[in-house]
Chains A and B, each alone.
Chain A
Amino acid sequence: MKLSISRDAALPAAFVAAVTRIFIDLALDGGPVHNGVWIAALLGALPVLPYLVCLDMVGVGKCRYATVGRLLAGLLLAATALDGARIVSVVLRASGFLVLDPVSPFMLVLPVVLAALWCTCRNGDAIGYAAMLWRRAFPALMLVVMILQWRHYRPQWLRPWLGNGWGEIAGEAIRTAGCYVPATSVLLICRHDDETGKRPFTVAWIALASAVASLLLVFRLMMTPSGTNDMAWITRLDALLTNGRAPLYLQLPMIVAFFVGLMHLLACECFAAAALLQRLIPRLNGRVCAGIVILICAVLPFVRSFRSMLDRAMPWLFIAAALPVALAALSQFHFNGGKRSCES
């Protein structure tokens, strides 16, 4: 089985993954939420645009030197698989909190891992088209959330606008850019065979993704005052899902949105990592690649200090990925006399 995805499907998959990844990172995983995060979500998109252009230039089959292509695929594979493991750990903690019963972590991880394996084996188009469907359903669901909780949002809590200042916003913007790396690695492996023949516009894509993530963060900030959310991960999750003050029964659509978004993110990253692994070792069957990647994603969350190690690496992720991609794209451009190698 060959793992592949059309660009038509890869763009919505990456969109949903990027928005969810940014939101989870800034509103939940990255420590206390400060008022400037929504600005960081917007600013973080700026360095990603040239990164995506470079990624497009060195995509599958376009790289002039096979070794360079393999190195890049290996780098993105590592980043994506590790991020997949991080998402599994988020799912593990969130589901443990929500399922309430004392269920063993293994039993909580097993179904999501099986679901991710099943989805990866359905191949990229299924994941991408499901993300496209979710991209259409999500605004309707968020509209329901907002209507239900409208009276409980406090716009005054958005102030001070800059939170702890530009320094922190810059740091979070770099984190945001790092979120795009695993979420968009699926774009490296996509096929350009759209039936419509139209090439989707990357600037519009990234502007929309960052705007949606930023908007969601604005609503998150209106839920609880930033001074009171310097607290544990599980309490932040509770505040995110319950709003703190709205009646508990209004949580339902938010929980559905949260979990389904997480599963889309996990499926997209697992698929991308498995497909990158297959690019590196073409003899491997797609199902075997999916199995290996998902095994890594399932086991790593149980490794002690895995999360703290990833937390430390997160701010550097973008730089670590963007530099080699940019160098590869530049070398491609230089050696080819200003033309793209395989398209010329």
Chain B
Amino acid sequence: MEIDRVEMLRAALTPSLDENVSRFKTLLSSDTNVDAQFRFINCAETRLCVIYIEGMADDRKISDFILRACVNLPPAPGRRVDAAYLMEDVLEIAQCEAEHRVSELLNSVVTGMTAVLIDGCDEAVLLETRGYPARPVNRTTNESVVIGAQEGFVESLRTNMTLMRRYVPAAGLITECITVGTVVPTHVTLVYLRGVADEGVVEAVRKRLKGIDAKTVQGLGAIQQHIEDQPWALLPQMLQTERPDRAASCVMDGQVVVLADNSPYALIGPITLFHQLHASDDSFSRWQYGTFLRLIRIIGMLVSVFLPGLYIALTDYHMHLLPLSLLGSIAEARANVPFPILVEIMIMEFSFYLINEAGTRIPQQIGSALGIVGALILGQAAVSASIISPILIIIVALTGLGNYAIPDYGFGIGLVICRLFVIACSAAFGLYGFCMAAFVLSVSVCGMKSFGFAYVAPIAPRRPHNPDLLLRLPIWLQRRPMYFAARAHRARGQGG
């Protein structure tokens, strides 16, 4: 049975309408699938069968521009009813094409397109009738900005492509469609600016996407794991954004954007560590403000990774490195705490992320209760019960704030794991372990690559770059293109 299905998929249409329809009925399991629709009509004394999926296709488009146009059409003298005739003279839908492959027709029908099979013709007409319910373009939920565009990507790939077109209204913008997934296909679009993006990078992304041999690929998260340079690394080597303005800015810098059906965000590559610290506000603000905010984020990242480890190393091993007054207050605060600092810090870290995770999943109506639980029970009560010291709450709060200052969610989680590593090393060997952890992390990050480009470039290795990467310079000095842009584009940019 399965072999028959495979053979049917590989086959092309035949001139027999009944045979073709029977084939589609089998492939769509029409006896059990109630939403697979087969509508027979007569057009110029020729039998047609309109195939579509109810709910995925727009009923109004089908009845107004296909059925009404075809039914009771008088025969044209000397003209045979075939795909070309229907497309040129009858059907009133702008986007249509002739197709003879069963697999292509089937894959298009299940995405909401309509196939019109013609008796006596081995080609069908494929019509764009997608009209399934979709979320309209809304404000972003995770990447909020104070100043700047407020639109975010949605689940519909076509809408996302339109958003990209709107933000980059250039003829050179290429939207290349690729299908990934061998059993359940997912439509993916590669977006780049011809002449600005490096052909080698585009080819690398294309090759990796086409090389995905998974049966199913659920969204961009899975695609990212398939195409990243180092899937074992803790930090992501592609940027995820739900903001079309940010994706557009990357496209104009020569990066490649990947969009996918049912994924309300975009994947961007190649990137550097510093791209993970960018926010859309930066480019909407004056350069001084943007620079200041980026510095805050860099400090936030360092605090997030190193502060608890440093605290544990200093208070557990090197008390003499603390000023006497600070040492006194720490000792006083910890006098009644029964646990070692490592246990204390792990309790707080765990509680913090428990509240964080619960806050993400909790229904909005009872969300305020979580704040009360977090602040009162885990904060105030834990201090009163001498389970943790007040100074540790400050440390964990600063660490959490540092983490939240990082715009990229995945990158933030990666940093949390790095922080746990620093904490473990510091707890075991004090400052010696702290330095070792910092060194190992720095070598690991420096060894990472994103589509062949060093992750910490342009700092290490040094590369010519737009001065809008680490800190921002005035906008009129931001003329140099990024080092991963096309060579010709870089040469033009440097020439001014």
Complex CA distance for A275 and B231, rounded to whole angstroms: 26
Which bracket fits the contact residues of A? 35 or more
Q: Is A111 an interface position by the 8 A CB rule? A: yes
Q: Is A14 an interface position by the 8 A CB rule? A: no
Contacts A9-B461, A100-B317 given; does A129 touch B454 at CB 8 Å? yes
Q: Is B132 an interface position by the 8 A CB rule? A: no
**Whole-angstrom distance between the Cβ of B12 and the nearest chain A Cβ:** 49
**Whole-angstrom distance between the Cβ of B314 and the nearest chain A Cβ:** 8
Q: Is A263 an interface position by the 8 A CB rule? A: yes
**Whole-angstrom distance between the Cβ of A252 and the nearest chain B Cβ:** 5
Q: Is the CB of B431 within 8 A of A125?
A: no
Q: Is the CB of A248 within 8 A of B320?
A: yes
Q: Is the CB of B432 within 8 A of A130?
A: no
**Using Cβ atoms and an 8 Å threshold, which residues of chain A touch B318?**
98, 100, 252
Q: Is B90 an interface position by the 8 A CB rule? A: no
Q: Is A126 an interface position by the 8 A CB rule? A: yes
**Using Cβ atoms and an 8 Å threshold, which residues of chain B touch A255?**
321, 431, 435
Complex CA distance for A195 and B412, rounded to whole angstroms: 31
Complex CA distance for A256 and B446, rounded to whole angstroms: 19
**Using Cβ atoms and an 8 Å threshold, which residues of chain A touch B439?**
115, 119, 130, 260, 263-264, 267
Q: Which residue of A lies closest to B455 (CB)?
A: A129
**Whole-angstrom distance between the Cβ of B15 and the nearest chain A Cβ:** 59
**Using Cβ atoms and an 8 Å threshold, which residues of chain B touch A260?**
435, 438-439
Complex CA distance for A173 and B77, rounded to whole angstroms: 104
Main secondary structure of the interface of A (DSSP, over half): helix
Q: Is A331 an interface position by the 8 A CB rule? A: no
Q: Is the CB of B461 within 8 A of A95?
A: no
Q: Is A136 an interface position by the 8 A CB rule? A: yes
Q: Is B323 an interface position by the 8 A CB rule? A: yes
Q: Is the CB of B435 within 8 A of A136?
A: no
User: A81-101 toward B: CB 8 Å interface, digit per residue (1/0)?
Assistant: 000000000000011001111
**Whole-angstrom distance between the Cβ of B438 and the nearest chain A Cβ:** 7
Q: Is the CB of A8 within 8 A of B461?
A: yes
Q: Is the CB of A119 within 8 A of B443?
A: yes
Q: Is A134 an interface position by the 8 A CB rule? A: yes
Q: Is the CB of A249 within 8 A of B320?
A: yes
User: A58-96 toward B: CB 8 Å interface, digit per residue (1/0)?
Assistant: 000000000000000000000000000000000000110
Q: Is B11 an interface position by the 8 A CB rule? A: no
Complex CA distance for A100 and B429, rounded to whole angstroms: 10
The listed residue (A101, A119, A133, A263) touching B317 by CB distance below 8 A is A101
Instruction: Name the residue in A6, A118, A119 with the highest tally of chain B Cβ atoms < 10 Å from its Cβ.
Output: A119
* Residues B460-486 near A (CB distance < 8 A): 460-463
Which bracket fits the contact residues of B? 20 to 34
Q: Is the CB of A132 within 8 A of B461?
A: yes
Q: Is B440 an interface position by the 8 A CB rule? A: yes
Q: Is B459 an interface position by the 8 A CB rule? A: yes
The listed residue (A112, A132, A134) touching B436 by CB distance below 8 A is A112
**Using Cβ atoms and an 8 Å threshold, which residues of chain A touch B384?**
none
Complex CA distance for A322 and B435, rounded to whole angstroms: 34
**Whole-angstrom distance between the Cβ of B381 and the nearest chain A Cβ:** 33
**Whole-angstrom distance between the Cβ of A69 and the nearest chain B Cβ:** 27
**Using Cβ atoms and an 8 Å threshold, which residues of chain B touch A12?**
460
**Using Cβ atoms and an 8 Å threshold, which residues of chain A touch B317?**
98-101
**Using Cβ atoms and an 8 Å threshold, which residues of chain A touch B461?**
6, 8-9, 129, 132, 195
User: B290-334 toward A: CB 8 Å interface, digit per residue (1/0)?
Assistant: 000000000000000000000000100110111100000000000
Q: Is the CB of A133 within 8 A of B322?
A: no
* Residues B3-50 near A (CB distance < 8 A): none
**Using Cβ atoms and an 8 Å threshold, which residues of chain A touch B433?**
111
Q: Is the CB of B321 within 8 A of A256?
A: no
* Residues B410-451 near A (CB distance < 8 A): 425, 428-436, 438-440, 442-447
**Whole-angstrom distance between the Cβ of A128 and the nearest chain B Cβ:** 8
Q: Is A335 an interface position by the 8 A CB rule? A: no
Q: Is A339 an interface position by the 8 A CB rule? A: no
* Residues A1-43 near B (CB distance < 8 A): 6, 8-9, 12
Complex CA distance for A12 and B435, rounded to whole angstroms: 20
Q: Is the CB of A132 within 8 A of B459?
A: yes
A-B contact pairs, 20 of them (CB 8 A): A6-B461, A8-B461, A94-B432, A98-B317, A99-B317, A111-B425, A111-B429, A119-B440, A122-B447, A126-B447, A127-B446, A130-B439, A132-B446, A136-B460, A248-B321, A249-B322, A259-B432, A260-B439, A263-B435, A263-B439
Known: A6-B461, A129-B447, A263-B436. 4 other contacts (CB 8 A): A112-B436, A126-B444, A126-B446, A130-B439
Chain A residues within 8 Å of B, Cβ to Cβ: 6, 8-9, 12, 94-95, 98-101, 103, 108, 111-112, 115, 118-119, 122-123, 125-130, 132-134, 136, 195-196, 247-249, 251-252, 255-256, 259-260, 263-264, 267
Chain B residues within 8 Å of A, Cβ to Cβ: 314, 317-318, 320-323, 425, 428-436, 438-440, 442-447, 454, 456, 459-463
